[in-house]
Amino acid sequence: MDFPYSRLRRWPDVEADNLQAHDATDLLLVERALALDVAGREIAVIGDEYGAITLALTDAGLDGLRVHQDLATGRRALDRNADELGLVGFSGHELDATLLDGARLVLVQLPKALAELEEIADAVARWAAADAVLVAGGRVKHMTIAQNEVLGRSFSHVQAQRAERKSRLVVASDPRTVPEKPPFPVTERHDGLVLVAHGGAFAGPKLDIGTRVLLEVLGLGDPQLRKNATGSVEKAPNRPDAARSSGVVDGEQPSPAPVVVDLGCGTGALAASYALAHPDSRVIATDRSAAAVASARATMAANGVDDRVVVMHDDAGSELADASADVVLLNPPFHLGSSVHTGAATRLFEAAARILRPGGELFTVYNSSLGYRAELTRLVGATEQLERTPKFTVTRSIRR
């Protein structure tokens, strides 16, 4: 086949000379699928980052493919690339029975997290056809024996293939009988805060170190900030008051309650903690990961604040209006997939600058070695350091 992979774009994800919209693993998965000669309606594709697998197979004449992409950026890139190439005949799904029911071949770009792979493997064994074959692929340098072991929990036969073009396929077949209860989501308690996580959510049900530092700086990690039995809230001394501003909803109409955005919310630790500590605030949690969004919604329900926190699957707050927020809380990633790249953080800084009203506050925690303060000042406004530990720095930026 002669599919025009070079025409694919990553947009709206970060684009750079060293970042591509396809790799050799995509090509191997496509070649294997075509060699197996399975009907398109019996194929499910999981983790197709920008649509290379789905569109190449569709271009080859396979109709009715079902695809699950965790990232909102990937979903938008797939749609954009499909429009550019004039390709139709596939459908997007969440990681559920609608994706996998009757599927005989499941193609998977191996995720970085073993927990995410475990949830995927269980879902395939749980909902796909009884004779389903899972073909997973990845770059050799990122593959481990542990991935085979995870697949072996859900499939009786797991066989690694010979490496080609620095990529390798692993074929899993003969699905095992699954337990009555799926392995995810999982729940963990942290001093009054409950976190719920699906396999693909960063840090799982743990409270990651950076988030913990930001919570402490904001006073949200202190017991006296939790609602007490009478419903009152006490502010810890010597902490910044991140909810002091009056709210703005759409850039024009005033709101009686501050609008606080947890940008890149993950499992929702910041949003839930803020909602518990400031019951008069309007809190929005947004993340580009579907696994994170499902986790955050479950976290809000577990903490009893789901009626006061809106959780959105979105790319860098793109569905939030300009000048619509009083406060943004941000713990930005410093990886794009398996690559270390600051572009993801820059996009979130730009998003925060756009959605904050003038005078609004951005609270950011980041790895101290990255030195984002100058960039935050340039993109958002005057930035001061609130805390610095050996690993993390917390800053407050005032939107100019």
Q: Does 144 have pLDDT greater than 50? A: yes
Asked if omega into 182 is within 30° of 0 (cis), the reply is no
The domain spans of the chain are 5-175, 186-398
Average pLDDT over residues 60-87: 98
Query: 5-175, what's its fold?
Result: Rossmann fold (3.40.50)
Average pLDDT over residues 149-166: 97
Percent with pLDDT over 90 in the chain = 84
The tens digit of pLDDT for each residue in 292-316 reads 999 999 999 999 999 999 999 999 9
Domains 5-175 and 186-398 share a fold: yes
The whole-number average pLDDT for the span 333-350 is: 70
The predicted structure's pLDDT at residue 344: 81
What pLDDT does 343 receive?
A: 74
The kind and range of the H/E element at 187 are strand 186-190
pLDDT at 195 over 50: yes
Q: What is the DSSP string of 242-290?
A: TT-SPEESSSSSEESS-EEEEET-TTSHHHHHHHHH-TTSEEEEEESBH
* Cα–Cα dist 148/116, whole Å: 13
Q: What pLDDT score was predicted for residue 223?
A: 45
In the prediction, which pLDDT does 18 show?
A: 86
pLDDT at position 170 is: 98
CA distances for 108 relative to 32, 43, 49, 328, angstroms: 12, 11, 10, 35
**pLDDT at position 75:** 98
Classify domain 186-398 by CATH number: 3.40.50.150
Grouping H, G, I as helix, E, B as strand and the rest as coil, residue 168 is: strand
Two tokens, residue 284? 């929005």
> What's the one-letter identity of residue 71?
L
pLDDT tens profile 233-267: 333 344 566 654 434 444 555 556 899 999 999 99
Model pLDDT, residue 241: 60
User: Around Cβ 93, how many Cβ atoms within 10 Å?
Assistant: 17
**What percent of the chain clears pLDDT 70, i.e. is strictly above it?**
89
- Provide the pLDDT for residue 246: 38
Q: 8-64, pLDDT tens digit by residue? A: 999 999 898 889 999 999 999 999 999 999 999 999 999 999 999 999 999 999 999
**pLDDT score recorded for residue 347:** 93
Q: Is 348 exposed, middle or buried (0-12, 13-18, 19+ CB in 10 A)?
A: buried
Contact by Cβ (8 Å): 312, 339: no
Higher-scoring residue by pLDDT: 206, 251: 206
Tokens 């890139």, residue? 77
Partner residues linked to 364 by β-bridges: 330, 395
Contacting residues for 23 by C-beta, under 8 A, at least 6 apart:
52, 139, 167
Give the mean model confidence (pLDDT) for residues 337-365: 86
Q: pLDDT-based confidence at 231, cuts 50/70/90?
A: very low
Per-state percent for the chain, helix, strand, coil, to nearest 5: 30, 25, 40
If you write DSSP's letter for every residue of 289-319 in order, what string do you get?
Answer: BHHHHHHHHHHHHHTT-TTTEEEEE-STTTT
pLDDT at residue 337, as a whole number: 47
Comparison of pLDDT for 160 and 222, the residue scoring more: 160
- Provide the pLDDT confidence category of residue 333 given band limits of 50, 70 and 90: confident
280 contact partners, CB below 8 Å, separation of at least 6: 243, 257, 258
Average pLDDT over residues 130-155: 98
Buried b (16+ CB within 10 A) or exposed e, 255-276: eebbbbbbbbbbbbbbbbbbbb
Please, which residues have CB within 8 angstroms of residue 310's CB and are 6 or more apart in sequence? 283, 284, 285
Q: Around Cβ 370, how many Cβ atoms within 10 Å? A: 14
Mean pLDDT, all residues of the chain: 91
